[in-house]
Amino acid sequence: MNIFDLVNQDMSAATVRVVLGKDPATGEEFGLHCVGMDSPQWHTELDRQRVDGMRYVREHGRIDTSTEDGARTQEQRMNAGKVNQAVAVTVGWFGFTNDGEPAMFDPSVVRQMLAPRMTWVDEIFARISNTAAFFPQPTSGS
């Protein structure tokens, strides 16, 4: 790859498909379109979480993770942060329907889907961590 093509390439809006499963009735894949860790969505949410963490410490003090309650609180905050990050990078979806029609994308529904399914959140992180997935695919014959 030409080094200057890489230097000049803006991948902040590039998306990847994250396949979450297949519809058992039709065999059609369903999943999410996500931007990566170079996107403004990722950085905005990261900054929001950083400020939220500082505010939490100022208002409640540091979390004592040596206690059961503290460890549970820390785990809940970490999982909520991961869900927020996954929702922030999700910019669309595919394969989802409502009454037989393609479902209109709704980030609040994405949150409802992801919050109880941390394995899906982990799948999103794994996919967006693969920077090679964001490069344009070679055209046939190349």
Place of tokens 């990566």: 36
pLDDT at 9: 74
DSSP bridge partners of 18 = 32
The pLDDT tens digits of the residues spanning 43-96 come to 999 999 999 999 999 999 898 888 999 899 889 999 999 999 999 999 999 999
What is the pLDDT at residue 138? Answer: 66
Q: Do residues 51 and 104 make contact, with C-beta atoms less than 8 angstroms apart?
A: no
CA dihedral sign of residues 42, 45, 50, 56: negative
Q: Of 54, 133, 137, whose CA–CA distance to 89 is shortest? A: 133
Largest CA distance in the chain: 60
Q: What is the pLDDT of residue 141?
A: 58
Q: Tens of pLDDT along 14-28?
A: 899 999 999 998 999
Among the listed residues 66, 71, 76, the one whose alpha carbon sits nearest the alpha carbon of residue 115 = 76
Q: Are the C-beta atoms of 45 and 84 separated by less than 8 Å?
A: yes
Q: What is the model's pLDDT at position 35?
A: 95
Average pLDDT, the chain: 90
